[in-house]
């Protein structure tokens, strides 16, 4: 069995090598879409800009230069590869800009009174943090008045609530009402198996079936509120 740090170094190297191969292949094929996908996947795999620049984009361009010197591709192919790489650099900058813009917004997470199931909420916290949002996790079983007071003090842009128990609908509505009273500009995203059709039909709520939907849902709410 390998040591954990060796395993993680190996997995990092495997990610770099896969992305480098995909990116070089895309440049040689003049395939802008495939090149962008390779870099997006590298960013999603949390490879840093330094690694992407030094170990993926630069080596691919060096390879293109060698192929040109050997007469295996034309100067036009070399220009296409360069243009694609310049566009990919702009994509990297845009992703950083979005993450920085998210950093100016705060999302508060809680399970309403009586609700102890918080694993999904923990996943939501990780996803939002990774996307760049400021996250405040209040955890399980948060009484409505405490949630309202925390919202007034911390002024979150969005509040994510999770409700698993079917009898939790009243507590969920109570939590929302308490926040609306204390911090009316907050928007709400709710998830969980306990959501009743009545909750799901509330137009003021964003409803997520899966945690993987949350970043997009928060982005949409923050944009709609004209906050960025
Ligand atoms: C772990 C667990 C517990 C733990 C919770 C610990 C903790 N810190 O979270 C403990 C032991 C405390 C517990 C207690 C109880 N539990 Co329990 N528990 C579970 C179990 C096994 C897993 C729940 C879980 O973490 N799932 C994984 C998460 C990721 O999935 P999820 O919650 O379904 O969320 C998905 C979506 O709903 C959505 N989502 C959910 N919330 C949110 C929020 C946002 C913002 C977003 C974007 C998305 C989102 O995203 C996820 C998918 O991507 C489930 C089994 C099951 N089938 O789920 C039972 C289960 C939920 N529990 C159940 C019961 C009955 C209880 C108890 C009454 C048992 C008891 N007699 O003690 C108590 C009640 C506690 C309470 N008042 O809340 C029942 C509920 C049945 C029902 N609907 O009526 C279940 C289904 C088990 C069963 N088959 O009977 N439980």
CB-count burial class (<10 Å; 0-12, 13-18, 19+) for 115: buried
Residues 55-70 have a mean pLDDT of 96
Ligand 1 pocket test, candidate residues 117, 172, 194, 199, most atoms within 8 A of CB: 117
Atom of ligand 1 nearest to the CA of 160: 45
According to the model, what pLDDT value does residue 1 have?
44
| Model pLDDT for residues 117-160, shown as the tens digit of each residue | 999 999 999 999 999 999 999 999 999 999 999 999 999 999 99
Dist. CA 137 → ligand 1 center (Å): 18
In this predicted structure, the answer to whether residue 5 has a pLDDT above a threshold of 70 is: no
Cα-to-centroid distance, 191 and ligand 1 (Å)? 12
pLDDT digits (tens, 9 = 90+) for 93-110: 998 888 888 999 999 999
Say what the pLDDT of residue 51 is. Answer: 94
Nearest residue (by CA) to ligand 1, atom 21, is 117
Please tell me the predicted confidence (pLDDT) of residue 128.
96
What is the predicted pLDDT for the residue at 3?
Answer: 61
How many alpha carbons fall within 13 Å on the CB side of residue 156? 28
226 pLDDT tier (thresholds 50, 70, 90): low
Q: What is the reported pLDDT for 228?
A: 45
H helices within 109-184, ranges in order?
A: 119-131, 144-154, 169-182
Task: Please choose, from the candidates 110, 108, 120, 91, the residue with its C-alpha nearest in 3D space to the C-alpha of residue 218.
Answer: 108
pLDDT confidence band for 116 (50 / 70 / 90) = very high
Cα 192 to averaged position of ligand 1 atoms, centre (Å): 8
Which residue has the least CA distance to atom 46 on ligand 1?
191
pLDDT tens digits for range 154-197: 999 999 999 999 899 999 999 999 999 999 999 999 999 989 88
Closest residue CA from atom 80 of ligand 1: 165
Place of tokens 């790489």: 85
How much is the average pLDDT of 77-90?
96
Give pLDDT, residue 175.
96
Tell me what the pLDDT averaged over the chain comes to.
Answer: 92
Could you tell me which residues are beta bridge partners of residue 160? 109, 189
Pocket of ligand 1 (CB under 6 A): 114-121, 123-124, 160, 162, 164-166, 189, 191-193, 208, 210-211, 213-214
Give me the residue label for tokens 């926040």: 179
Looking at residue 99, its pLDDT comes to 85
Please choose from 164, 206, 210 the residue to mutate so as to test ligand 1's pocket, defined by most ligand atoms within 8 A of CB: 164
Among all chains, which residue has been given the structure tokens 């694609």?
84
User: Positive or negative, the Cα torsion across 16, 21, 24, 29?
Assistant: negative
User: What is the mean pLDDT of the segment spanning 27-37?
Assistant: 96
**pLDDT tens-digit profile of 37-62?**
999 999 988 898 999 999 999 999 99
DSSP string, 176-212: HHHHHHH-TT-EEEEESTT--HHHHT-TTEEEESSGG
Per-residue pLDDT averaged across 74-79, rounded? 95
């Amino acid at each position: 069995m390998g040591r954990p740090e060796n395993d993680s170094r190996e997995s990092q190297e495997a990610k770099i090598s896969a992305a480098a191969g995909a990116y070089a292949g895309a440049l040689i094929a003049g395939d802008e879409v495939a090149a962008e996908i390779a870099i997006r996947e590298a960013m999603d795999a949390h490879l840093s800009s330094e690694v992407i620049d030094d170990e993926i984009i630069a080596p691919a361009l060096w390879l293109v230069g060698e192929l040109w010197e050997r007469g295996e591709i034309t100067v036009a192919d070399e220009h296409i590869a360069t243009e694609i790489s310049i566009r990919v650099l702009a994509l990297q900058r845009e992703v950083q800009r979005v993450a920085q813009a998210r950093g100016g917004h705060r999302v508060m997470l809680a399970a309403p009174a009586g609700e102890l199931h918080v694993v999904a909420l923990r996943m939501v916290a990780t996803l939002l943090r990774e996307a760049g949002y400021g996250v405040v996790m209040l955890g399980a079983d948060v009484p409505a008045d405490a949630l309202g007071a925390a919202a007034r003090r911390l002024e979150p842009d969005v509040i994510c609530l999770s409700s698993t128990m079917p009898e939790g609908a009243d507590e969920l509505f109570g939590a929302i009402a308490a926040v609306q009273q204390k911090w009316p500009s907050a928007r709400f995203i709710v998830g969980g198996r306990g959501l009743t059709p009545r909750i799901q039909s509330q137009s003021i709520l964003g409803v997520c079936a899966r945690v993987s939907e949350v970043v997009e849902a928060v982005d949409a709410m923050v944009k709609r509120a004209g906050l960025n």
